[in-house]
Amino acid sequence: MTHAVISCLHANLAALEAVLDDIDQRGITTITCLGDLVGYGPQPNEVVNLVRERAIPSCQGCWDEDIIEGLNSCECSYPSQLAERRGHQAHQWTAEQLSEENKAFLASLPMSLRRDRLLFVHGSPNSQHEYLLPDMDAFAALERVQTADADTLFCGHTHRPYVRELRDGVIRVRVQAPTDPQSPAEREMALPVRRIVNAGSVGEPRHGNTHATYVIHDEATGNVEIREVPYDVERTCRAIVEVGLPPVFAWRLRHGFEYAERADDASHVCER
C-alpha cells in the first residue's frame, strides 16, 4: 500500500489544499497527519475543518496541545525572547479564533498512531516537543524507534523533511560486578535496522524555499518519496495581514523562513 504522511499544517489553508490535490492526483487514499494543525497561520478553523471533512487520522502536535491546555511549554522551547513573544501572540490569536468544536477535536487527538510496525508521532515517541533532527546522534535516534517498538518512525516538528536509515549497528559492553571484579563479562548487542522519516511541513516550510513538503511511503518496496509542492504563498500572506497577525509573519513565510526559529538544541526535551 502507498500512503502519504503530512505534518505541521500551521493553519495554512492554501498549502494544505495544494498538498491534498497533489496526493489526490496520485490516487493515494490513505493519509496520516502528524499534528500542529494550527499555530502562526491565518486559517486555523478552515484547516481543522478540512482535516475533519477528509477524515485524516492525526496525532496531536505541540501547538494543538497548547491551544487546548493553555501555554505550558517551557520557555526553552523558544530560542529568543522575540520568538517567544511572537509565539505567544500567535497562540492567543489562534485560541480566540478556534471554535469550541474544533478545540474539542484537537483535544481528542492521540499522542501517537500505530499501524503494524509503523509509528506516527509529532516530535518523538518521548515528547511532542523533542526535535529529531537528521544529524542527531545515531544511537539516540535508533533508541527512539526501538523503544517505541517500531520499524519505521514517522515524525515532523522540525519542518525539514528527511529519510534516515540506521543499520549495521552493534554495541559491545564489558560489565564488572563487585563479586568478580577481575573477570569482566563481555557481551554484544546487534542493533536492528530502523528508519526515521520526517514528513517536513505543509504550512511552514524551512528547507530553503517556500514549497510545502510531505512524504509518500510505498510499504511494498519501502521507498519513501519526499514531495515538494508549490502553492499560492501570497494568498496566505495576504490572509495573515488581513486577519491582523503580525505582518512580519507574512514576510517570513514569503521568504521560506519559519515564523519563529526552531530550538537549536536537537536533543532538548522540555522538563514540564
For residues 241 and 251, what is the distance between their CA atoms, to the nearest angstrom?
Answer: 10
228 sits in the region (left: phi over 0; alpha: psi -120 to 50; else beta) called beta
Instruction: Give the one residue of 142, 150, 153, 233 binding another protein; rule: CB under 8 A.
Output: 142
Measured from the Cβ of residue 247, the count of other Cβ atoms closer than 10 Å reads 11
Does 244 sit near another protein (CB under 8 A)? no
Does 168 sit near another protein (CB under 8 A)? yes
Least Å distance, CB 115 to another protein, is 22
Does 207 sit near another protein (CB under 8 A)? yes
Q: Identify residues 55-94 at the interface with another protein (CB under 8 A).
A: 79-83, 85-86
- The values of phi and psi at residue 226, to 5°, are -90, 120
205 sits in the region (left: phi over 0; alpha: psi -120 to 50; else beta) called beta
Are 7 and 122 in contact by the 8 Å Cβ rule? The answer is yes
Among 194, 211, 112, 188, residue whose Cα is nearest residue 156: 112
Does 161 sit near another protein (CB under 8 A)? yes
Instruction: Give the one residue of 1, 110, 167, 230 binding another protein; rule: CB under 8 A.
Output: 167
Q: Check residue 58 and report its DSSP letter.
A: B
Least Å distance, CB 53 to another protein, is 30
Residue with Cβ nearer another protein (53 or 168): 168
Residue with Cβ nearer another protein (99 or 147): 147
Are 128 and 164 in contact by the 8 Å Cβ rule? The answer is no
Does 226 sit near another protein (CB under 8 A)? yes
Question: For residue 25, what is its C-alpha cell?
Answer: 492526483
Q: Check residue 34 and report its DSSP letter.
A: -
Does 129 sit near another protein (CB under 8 A)? no
Please report, as ranges, the residues that interact with another protein according to CB under 8 A.
79-83, 85-86, 126, 134-135, 137-143, 146-147, 160-178, 181-182, 184, 186-189, 191, 207-208, 213, 226, 228, 246-248, 251-252, 255, 261, 267
